[in-house]
Chain A
Amino acid sequence: MPLPVCKAGLTGHVRPGQGRERMGTGENWKYGYPSQKQWGWPGAIEIFCGGTAGGTYLLSVLPYLLFNGRVFVTGVYASLVLVLISVFVLAAESNSLWRLPRAFFNIKSPLALGAISLSLLIILSIATIGILHAGLPPKALFFVGSLGVAVSLLVMMYPGALMGLMKAIPFWSGPGASFLLLSASMLSGCAVVTLSGGLHHLNLNLSRMTLGFLAIHGLSLLIDLLLGGQGSKAAQISVERLIKGPLFPAFMIGVVGLGWVVPSVLYIIDSISSSTPMLHAGSGLILIGGLLMRYSLIASGVKISMLGEDSIGATYWLDH
């Protein structure tokens, strides 16, 4: 009679009667893999601030580029502050500042592209502000703004591209993470522009746009959860962690409840009876939900087991 496939070890949790994975002889761990700190809150803050900066810049400049409107200068300032926070957190995580310029070297890596795009966004934000204050010709503003929009898109998408490369974490791998983070960044950008007074400065219906991005973001989250739930064992465990595991408070209450459901209700109420305080409250909750979403996504990343169903371990040991 074939023995059951070893199922333990994905997170160090052991179930009686099934296999267990024990590491070394140190006193710091009993079962499971050696624990080493990887990505956590600093990564979440960096991705959140970077993505939100990209979304904010794009929304501040796009009306000028497409609809002959005005550039929302406060939004560009907000974008600059956010991207500087993102770069600061990224730099603080490094072990030595003098090595940081090396982060630009391997352009095949999404992280290097991220470093380049974050740096370019800083430069282009400063350039945009400088052009506006100096009263330079509109062509210069158009050129810088167009570049800035392209760079903003890169800033919003590079974390998802990086996560998509991680075959070791099935829940992250694939294009879903890119689209999720892109929609989240646009949503956060709408919230920042709303909070910084962009409602009456932009000649586009910001509240309707935010409602649209809320719908897209919600759909993207749902699709990611459904695909994860139907995927490999590790992806299923990631989804379980989010919807009923240790990440339940952060994800279901923070991201879904506070970050999506409540703002959606507030924005729908605003569309019926215009109310700026509702929009501001909703935008604040969107930002909180956005930060918690990035953290939940990072914390839910569970690596595939060494002994997967098709791995060598199962093949050779299943019949022993």
Chain B
Amino acid sequence: MVIDLFRCIGCHACTYACKAEHQTGKGVFWSLVYDYERGKYPHVIRSFLPILCMHCEDAPCKQVCPTGATYKRGDGIVAVDPNKCIRCKACMIACPYRARFENPEDAYPTTKGHLNQERDLLRQPGVIEKCNFCKDRIEWGKSHGSMPGMAWDANPACVNACPVNARTFGNLNDPESEISKLISSQKGDVLHGEWGTGPAVFYISAGRPLPPKLKFSAKQAGAVRQNSRL
């Protein structure tokens, strides 16, 4: 997945789409958007950082899981088998991206998704869960002839929900895919690549026009605020 930091407006549509799709419990966010305010008034900028499971090549959560509940699929998705999770929470602590959550006791999602696709595994209360790139949707879409990254019914819910197309999904191994082209042309980078986890979520914003800095002086900004109260 590629996320365009310049396009992201912090609307949290992805957060809610993910919640609706997977019926996650209270306090559980498989897809998050952190927002930051930087600088001092009047030169303040608000920035957004969407975070989800990075589906790392060398996933720390998979290394520490004693039961093998966290596993890496052939297509690169790091998934969790809730039937094997013993709630030791080692994966929650090991994940550097804070992408894992404990399913609350009173959350009990249904077995069918919005496409009426079968969810392959029911997530019991207490198990640790995280973003799985909507693998159920991907598999349903592929079985109906749709290509992930190209068709809405084979895309993760967050990708479809984004109103500004900040998220792009596709095959990183295909150099001709849109996602690969975006990463190479926009110099995509990963979050905390120095840890060597090999994330599969890239961020771009290079090559785009930057938001203009506020040019008001503090006095002028004060006058604007005063007038706006009238």
Which of the 9-residue segments A28-36, A68-76, A120-128, A235-243 touches chain B? A28-36
State in angstroms the CA–CA spacing of A112 and B125 once bound together: 23
Most chain A beta-carbon contacts within 10 A, residue among B34, B92, B124: B34
- Is residue B66 within 8 Å, beta carbon to beta carbon, of the partner chain? yes
Contacts of A6 in B (CB 8 A): 36, 38
Among candidates B15, B36, B86, B196, residue contacting A96 with C-beta atoms closer than 8 Å: B86
Q: Which of A17-25, A222-230, A269-277 contacts B (4 or more CB under 8 A)?
A: A17-25
CB of A39 within 8 A of CB of B65, answer: no
Q: Which of B12, B88, B96, B211 is close to A320, meaning CB atoms less than 8 Å apart?
A: B211
- Cβ-based interface call for A306 (8 A): yes
The answer to whether A306 touches B49, judged by C-beta atoms less than 8 angstroms apart, is yes
Given known A20-B36, A166-B60, A316-B205, contact A106–B189 (CB-CB < 8 A): no
Q: How far is the CB of A98 from chain B (nearest CB, A)?
A: 10
Interface presence of B190 (CB below 8 A): yes
| Interface assignment of A313: CB less than 8 Å from any CB of chain B | yes
Question: Cβ of B192 and Cβ of A169 under 8 Å apart?
Answer: no
Q: Which residues of A contact B132 (CB under 8 A)?
A: none
Given the interface contacts A23-B32, A167-B60, does A3 sit within 8 Å of B190 by beta carbon? Answer: no
User: Given the interface contacts A6-B38, A110-B64, does A33 sit within 8 Å of B192 by beta carbon?
Assistant: no
Alpha-carbon gap, A102 to B181, bound state (A): 42
- Chain A contact residues: helix, strand, loop or mixed: loop
Q: Is the CB of A162 within 8 A of B26?
A: no
Q: Tell me whether B37 is interfacial, beta carbon within 8 Å.
A: yes
User: How far apart sit A316 and B47, CA to CA, in the bound complex (Å)?
Assistant: 10
Q: Shortest CB–CB separation between residue A17 and chain B, in angstroms?
A: 6
Q: Report yes or no: A109 in contact with B38, Cβ–Cβ below 8 A.
A: no
Check if B87 is an interface residue, CB within 8 A of chain A: yes
The reply to whether B38 and A317 contact each other, CB–CB distance below 8 Å, is yes
Known: A102-B86, A112-B66. A95 touches B38 (CB 8 A): no
Task: Provide the bound-state CA to CA distance between A167 and B58, in Å.
Answer: 12
Q: By the criterion CB–CB under 8 Å, are A34 and B27 in contact?
A: yes
- Do A28 and B84 have beta carbons less than 8 Å apart? no
> In the complex, what residues of B have CB within 8 A of residue A37's CB?
102
- Asked whether, in the complex, the Cβ of A168 is within 8 Å of the Cβ of B60, the reply is yes
Contact of B192 among A9, A105, A108, A308 (CB under 8 A): A308
Bound complex: CA A122 to CA B229 (Å)? 73
What number of residue pairs across chains A and B have CB atoms under 8 A from each other? 168
Q: Is the beta-carbon distance between B37 and A19 smaller than 8 angstroms?
A: yes
B68 at the interface (CB under 8 A from A): yes
Given contacts A303-B98, A320-B45, A21 and B39 within 8 Å (CB-CB): no
Residue from the list A21, A108, A303, A312 in contact with B63, Cβ < 8 A: A108
Q: Is the CB of A3 within 8 A of B98?
A: no
Contact partners of B12 in chain A: CB under 8 A: 24-25
Q: Is A38 an interface residue (CB 8 A)?
A: yes
B38 pairs with A169, CB closer than 8 A? no
B40 part of interface (Cβ distance < 8 Å)? yes
Q: Are A4 and B38 in contact (CB under 8 A)?
A: yes
**Which chain B residues lie closer than 8 Å to A95 at the CB level?**
85-87, 124-127
A115 at the binding interface (Cβ < 8 Å): yes
Is A311's CB under 8 angstroms from B192's CB?
A: yes
| Beta-carbon contacts under 8 Å, A285-320 to B | 301, 303-304, 306-308, 310-313, 315-317, 320
A residues near B37, Cβ cutoff 8 Å? 19-20
B197 proximal to A (CB < 8 A):
yes
Q: In the complex, are the beta carbons of A3 and B39 less than 8 A apart? A: yes
The answer to whether A94 has its CB under 8 Å from any CB of chain B is yes
CB distance from A294 to the nearest CB of B (A): 15
On chain A, the residues within 8 Å of B196 by CB distance are 167
Asked if residues B92 and A38 are in contact (CB atoms below 8 Å), the reply is: yes
**A111 close to chain B: CB less than 8 A:** yes
Given A21-B35, A26-B27, A36-B27, the answer on whether A106 and B102 have CB atoms closer than 8 Å is: no
Q: Which residue of B lies closest to A8 (CB)?
A: B36
Q: Given that A26-B26, A306-B191 are known contacts, is A103 also in contact with B34, CB under 8 Å in the complex? A: no
State how many angstroms separate the Cβ of A163 from the closest Cβ of chain B. Answer: 9
B contacts, CB < 8 Å to A: 5, 12, 15, 26-29, 32, 34-40, 43, 45, 47, 49, 51, 60, 63-69, 83-90, 92-98, 101-102, 124-127, 189-192, 194-197, 203, 205-206, 210-211, 213
A contact residues vs B (CB 8 Å cutoff):
3-4, 6, 9, 17, 19-26, 28, 33-39, 93-96, 99-100, 102-106, 108-112, 114-115, 162, 165-169, 301, 303-304, 306-308, 310-313, 315-317, 320
16 example contacts (A-B, Cβ-Cβ < 8 A) are as follows A3-B39, A20-B37, A21-B34, A21-B36, A24-B32, A34-B28, A36-B101, A95-B124, A103-B86, A109-B90, A111-B90, A167-B195, A306-B51, A306-B191, A306-B192, A320-B213
